[in-house]
Chain A
Amino acid sequence: MSIMDVKEIFSIEESDLSFKKLVDEAPLEIASTLKDKSVVILPSHGHDDAYYAGTLDTLDFLNENGIDTDVYASDEEYKELGLHGAEIWLGTFIIQSIVVPIFCSVVSAYIYDKLKAKDDDDIALRFMVENKKGKTTAVEFRGKVENLDKALDAIKSFSDED
């Protein structure tokens, strides 16, 4: 393994973030629109106001495929990050458990069909699933696209737990 190769990260942990908490702390102009969303895309990479390049394409794709999604930023505040290399930085998503199965299939279609990702491409993402009892579990994955299934299988298993 070369020093330039990225070591795979795959972690599952509990989180105290919830849809309610997000809506309560959201700027007034977006709080009401976020309330009923199935998926919310959160700022990423240690920034509290910036999203990965292509986030709006991801947002459109999810909405066009029946998943009611929004970003956690007002139109005025929204900024994008362009980052190093051809790695696919998908972003951080908080997901209502009821849409997890369809979310997984739409995100797969986005990665493979729209972004035309190959097995050897690097990808980074963080999925947070809130179940019906308000408990949130976060899955973080950074590694090769060919190993992405373990992250998708993990979040599917949380939705099965309901």
Chain B
Amino acid sequence: MQLRALAMKIELITLGDTNKPEVNKIIELLKAEKEKAVQNGDEVKANNCWRELQTFELSVLFIQAFQNIKSKNYRDAWNELEQCEIIYSFISNNSSEEYLCNPRLAFITDKIAKWQSLYPYCLFCSPGFKVGYYSCSICDHKIRPRSRCAHKKGKVYNGELCLHVAHDLEMLEISMVTKPVQKYSVMHDDSTLDFTLLDRLSSFLEHAFEEWDLNWTTMKFPVERFKSVKNKDKCPCKSEKLFEVCCMEKEEVEIPHLDFMLSKPLSADSESITFPYENG
């Protein structure tokens, strides 16, 4: 596809790149091509245009999320990472293995979950509701157990994604959960949380597509270094027990440890270990 070749030539790495006129030009061209393909009944081409547009949008959102992490707008970045996850799932559901091997897509999907794992969020609200019925977003067909249309939820038809639209919703309850369907429903006040992991990693990275990886292990420290932990606090080893009944009497406390692996050499002082407790 010529447009794909053109799209791939554009360097889309920084937030500045996303505002370049040629990026907008490509997006407008893809939209026009898709429209033309729809009118000509060329479903394959229309779907290809949809895929390229989604991949563009995914790249832009991922860059925005990275910039927001760097600017300490953690919540905005969290929401954008969730959007990236959703867009990727739609692309993945409508693409060949070969398309998904595109290094940029592979990079983004690998890094979304890793960035998310560095967030301290652990409590979310989630609505429980009853849905009267769903309809198809493409043909408006009322979806019933014994009555379906020709469109499958999550698949693309003539450049348009099929979704099921919920009707006659009856709200039942709001619950607190640790694994939400909607990740944006964070219940925390960000000002009370520790975002050190995001800060530390993003401080080493110049742009969203610089290679990095992480490795969770554990590390032992002398118990004297945990003076700021009170007897009734949760144990730093994350056993969920109180410090006084868990590791307080031990000589060393084994706590979770995270190594960041980067693709470039760092200065000697950058490789120091950050100890997460005060006066330690």
Docked-complex contact B143 and A56, CB < 8 angstroms: yes
Is the CB of B176 closer than 8 A to any CB of chain A?
yes
Number of interface residues of A (CB under 8 A): 28
Distance from B182 Cβ to chain A, minimum over Cβ atoms (Å) = 9
Is the CB of B197 closer than 8 A to any CB of chain A?
no
From A1, A47, A75, A122, B145 is in contact (CB under 8 Å) with: A75
Residues of A contacting B145 in the complex (Cβ-Cβ under 8 angstroms): 56, 59, 70-71, 73, 75, 78
Residues of B contacting A53 in the complex (Cβ-Cβ under 8 angstroms): 131
Residues of B contacting A56 in the complex (Cβ-Cβ under 8 angstroms): 143, 145
> Complex: how many Å from CA A85 to CA B181?
5
Partner-contacting stretch, out of B44-52, B97-105, B121-129, B208-216: B121-129
Distance from B63 Cβ to chain A, minimum over Cβ atoms (Å) = 26
Docked-complex contact A79 and B132, CB < 8 angstroms: yes
> Complex: how many Å from CA A136 to CA B62?
52
Docked-complex contact B240 and A2, CB < 8 angstroms: yes
Residues of A contacting B181 in the complex (Cβ-Cβ under 8 angstroms): 82, 85-86
Is the CB of A21 closer than 8 A to any CB of chain B?
no
> Complex: how many Å from CA A78 to CA B179?
27
Which secondary structure dominates chain A's binding surface?
loop
Docked-complex contact B144 and A85, CB < 8 angstroms: no
> Complex: how many Å from CA A84 to CA B128?
6
Interface centre among A53, A59, A76, A85 (most CB of B within 10 A): A85
Task: Say whether, besides A53-B131, A83-B128, A4 and B143 are in contact (CB < 8 Å).
Answer: no
Is the CB of B198 closer than 8 A to any CB of chain A?
no
Which secondary structure dominates chain B's binding surface?
strand
Is the CB of B177 closer than 8 A to any CB of chain A?
yes
Is the CB of B257 closer than 8 A to any CB of chain A?
no
Residues of A contacting B128 in the complex (Cβ-Cβ under 8 angstroms): 81-84
A-B CB contacts (within 8 Å), total count: 72
Residue of B nearest to A82 (CB): B129
Contact residues on B (Cβ < 8 Å of other chain), bracket: 20 to 34
Distance from B135 Cβ to chain A, minimum over Cβ atoms (Å) = 13
Residues of B contacting A119 in the complex (Cβ-Cβ under 8 angstroms): none
Is the CB of B130 closer than 8 A to any CB of chain A?
yes
Interface string of B237-253 (1 = CB under 8 A from A): 00010000000000000
> Complex: how many Å from CA A78 to CA B144?
7
Interface centre among A47, A70, A82 (most CB of B within 10 A): A82
Residue of A nearest to B176 (CB): A4
Interface centre among B145, B166, B176, B240 (most CB of A within 10 A): B145
Interface string of B158-197 (1 = CB under 8 A from A): 0000000010000011011111110000000000000000
Task: Say whether, besides A2-B240, A71-B145, A85 and B132 are in contact (CB < 8 Å).
Answer: no
- Residue positions of B touching A, CB distance < 8 A: 122-124, 126-134, 143-148, 153, 166, 172-173, 175-181, 240
Cβ contacts A to B, 15 pairs, < 8 Å: A2-B178, A2-B240, A5-B178, A53-B131, A56-B145, A57-B153, A79-B130, A79-B132, A81-B131, A84-B127, A84-B175, A85-B178, A86-B179, A86-B181, A87-B177
Contacts A81-B130, A85-B175, A87-B177 known; list 15 others, CB within 8 Å: A4-B176, A53-B131, A59-B145, A75-B145, A79-B131, A79-B132, A81-B129, A82-B127, A82-B129, A84-B126, A85-B177, A86-B181, A87-B179, A121-B179, A122-B179
Closest 8 CB pairs of A and B: A85-B177, A84-B175, A75-B144, A84-B126, A86-B179, A80-B131, A4-B178, A71-B145
